[in-house]
Amino acid sequence: MDAPLVRTFWLPRAGASPDACEDAFAVRPGWPFAAAVADGATESAFAGAWARHLVQHFCRDLPATPAALQDQLVHWRAAWQPDRLGATSPWYVAAKLEEGAHAALLGLVLHSDGTWQAVAVGDAVLLHLRGKRLLQAWPLDDPAQFHHRPALISSRVEAALPEVEGWRGEWRPGDAFVLATDALGAWLLATDPALPLRLPPEGLAAHVTAARRRRTLRNDDVAAVVVHCPP
Amino acid sequence: MAYSAEISRTSPTAILFLLDQSASMQEPFGGAEQRGDAAPSKARVLADVVNRLLQNLILRCAKEDGVRDYFYVGVIGYGERVQPLIRPVEEYRVAGDLVPISHLAERPLRLEERLKKVPDGQGGFIERRVKFPVWFDPHAKNGTPMCQALDLAASMVRTWIDLHPHSFPPIVINITDGEATDGDPLRYAQQLRSFATDDGETLLFNVHLSSSEEPAVELPASVEELPRDEYAVLLFQMSSVLPFTMRAAAEQEGYRVTMDTRGFVFNADPVALVRFLEIGTRPSTLR
């Protein structure tokens, strides 16, 4: 069976440089297929690097259930090494390193037998579409439910393990999934969840930029992975 | 919608603290002596709380590449004198004497070493030495010139708004344990609140520190929730209604809030003080 086809998309918040983007995505091609998006918290240091660390490790280790993700988080935290502290580092850098980095994570695994599994901490959104119709959205399906203090994964080894949500289901040939970080996910739910299926990345970027200008889409970093299941 | 401007380096907001430094601040919080506590003075507790809050505000803005200027900050003490307790260097004087937070981060008065309990990863705690930045020390002398302090705050806020007319409006937090000794502060409070950006009027919140064992009245929505006390009613009238983002923060802290909930705490103990400052300094998400 052919593997799923993928389109990826990311855009830093308006006014920020591309290297300041703290959202991340990763994809594992072939079977089992995996994709993940993560959203680094603005108020933590090294948040973009932590978000990249999480999505890359998800696509390598494929922890597709809440218990498996919690098990893996212990190892991912142990492997996390942000910049070292220098003797002349200011007091706030030491304090930020001690606070750790924080990010939301959403991961999806598709199996060739027609089943899928997903896990999430925080408010990145998974959309399951059939034709142009949204079948279901997780963990939130109402754009009004998004708030500013979602659950996050801490990089600190001593921090309590976060509560992980998990879902599973079946996909049919031609189905599509969209994984999107919170600002984009909320906007897609409020407007047209199938939009990323129809547009190339540059077209989606134009829509996002226009919606930010109209203030219908919160000015935040965005990242998305669009997954087309094989026909 | 008012109070919805995003806070970014190009569109920062201002947070200004007015700290009562009158003689009565030498006394401990109400009920502390009776409980046999070591009972530090209200002035000592307040200086500690606000120094720690400044530290936390800086940490919210600190990234791996430095501290981002999401906030401009000021601290005015009022007692023997009415004066800014943290001062900008010459190059920043144009901003109405409010200090960009990166500048505050680089220039504490001193760094103290304190012991902090941190989790050891096995369910217990260990003590670790951490650096505690201090920007100002406690002081308590003479009367309570609150009107003068509100007037100085108004002039600082006005200058800052001229430079940032589209920003989330300034937040002014007045912390006091007594009545003004220099006039009617309501008039000055109304003047201060009348200065506005495109995004809304200046927010003024008030915290009254407890001299009694009465329970704190936190975030009241009407005068009926207050004790029969003219002074409590006056401070309530001086206080702004909480904007949406802070109502949401208050709800997350477990408070019941309505559209009329005001940024006011009467008879606050140290816990209520810290809890309110956490809500009152969360204007909206940083971008």
Label each residue of chain A as H, E or C. CCCCEEEEEEECCCCCCHHHCCEEEEEECCCCEEEEEEEECCCCCCHHHHHHHHHHHHHHHCCCCHHHHHHHHHHHHHCCCCCCCCCCCCHHHHHHHHHCCEEEEEEEEECCCCEEEEEEECCCEEEEEECCEEEEEECCCCHHHCCCCCCCEECCCCCCCCCCEEEEEECCCCCEEEEECHHHHHHHHHCCCCHHHHCCHHHHHHHHHHHHHHCCCCCCCEEEEEEECCC
Q: B164, B148, B133, B150: which is closest to B50 by C-alpha?
A: B133
How many angstroms separate the CA of residue A42 from the nearest CA in chain B? Answer: 7
d(CA B206, CA B184): 15
Which tokens is B41 given?
């003075």
Domain map of chain B by residue range? 13-105+136-280
Burial (Cβ within 10 Å: 0-12, 13-18, ≥19) of residue B29 = buried
Residue in B closest to A74 by C-alpha: B121
Output the CA–CA distances (angstroms, integers) from residue B21 to A89, A144, B36, B56, B270, in the order listed.
34, 44, 25, 23, 16
Residue in A closest to B108 by C-alpha: A91
What H or E segment, with its residue span, contains residue B11? Answer: none
pLDDT of residue A78: 93
d(CA A17, CA A9): 16
How many angstroms separate the CA of residue B37 from the nearest CA in chain A? Answer: 30
Output the CA–CA distances (angstroms, integers) from residue A218 to A142, A158, B63, B96, B204, in the order listed.
15, 33, 21, 31, 27
B243 to chain A: which residues are within 8 Å by CB?
A: none
Would you give per-residue pLDDT tens digits along chain A (231 residues)? Answer: 889 999 999 999 988 888 889 999 999 999 999 999 999 998 888 999 999 999 999 999 999 999 999 999 999 999 998 766 666 778 898 888 888 999 999 999 999 999 999 999 999 999 999 988 999 999 988 888 887 678 999 999 888 999 999 999 999 999 999 999 999 999 999 999 999 999 999 999 999 999 999 989 988 999 999 999 999
B60 to chain A: which residues are within 8 Å by CB?
A: 43
d(CA A37, CA A105): 6
pLDDT of residue A69: 98
Q: B13, B171, B168, B21: which is closest to B84 by C-alpha?
A: B21
Residue B273 confidence class, pLDDT cut points 50, 70, 90: confident
pLDDT of residue A95: 86
Q: Is the distance from CB of B196 to CB of B181 less than 8 angstroms?
A: no
At residue B284, does pLDDT exceed 70? Answer: no
Q: Is the distance from CB of A119 to CB of A181 less than 8 angstroms?
A: no
Read off the amino acid at residue B22: S
Under an 8 A CB cutoff, do A158 and B121 touch?
Answer: yes
Under an 8 A CB cutoff, do A43 and B286 touch?
Answer: yes
For the question of an ipTM over 0.85, the answer is no
- Out of A83, A158, A219, closest to residue B287 by CB: A219
How many angstroms separate the CA of residue B46 from the nearest CA in chain A? Answer: 22
Residue B265 pairs in a beta bridge with B207, B218
A146 to chain B: which residues are within 8 Å by CB?
A: none
Q: Is the distance from CB of A12 to CB of A18 less than 8 angstroms?
A: yes
Q: Which of 3.40.50.170, 3.30.1490.20, 2.60.40.420, 3.40.50.410 is the CATH number of B13-105+136-280?
A: 3.40.50.410
- Express each pLDDT in B180-227 by its tens digit: 999 999 999 999 999 999 999 999 999 999 877 788 999 999 999 998
A13 to chain B: which residues are within 8 Å by CB?
A: 287
d(CA A126, CA A104): 13
pLDDT of residue B214: 82
Say whether B198 sits in a helix, a strand or coil.
coil
How many angstroms separate the CA of residue B105 from the nearest CA in chain A? Answer: 8
All domains of chain A, ordered by start, with CATH?
5-228 (3.60.40.10)
pLDDT of residue B119: 67
- Express each pLDDT in B227-246 by its tens digit: 888 889 999 999 999 999 89
Q: Is the distance from CB of A217 to CB of B6 less than 8 angstroms?
A: no
Residue in A closest to B67 by C-alpha: A92
- Express each pLDDT in B166-182 by its tens digit: 999 999 999 998 889 99
Q: Is the distance from CB of B64 to CB of A83 less than 8 angstroms?
A: yes
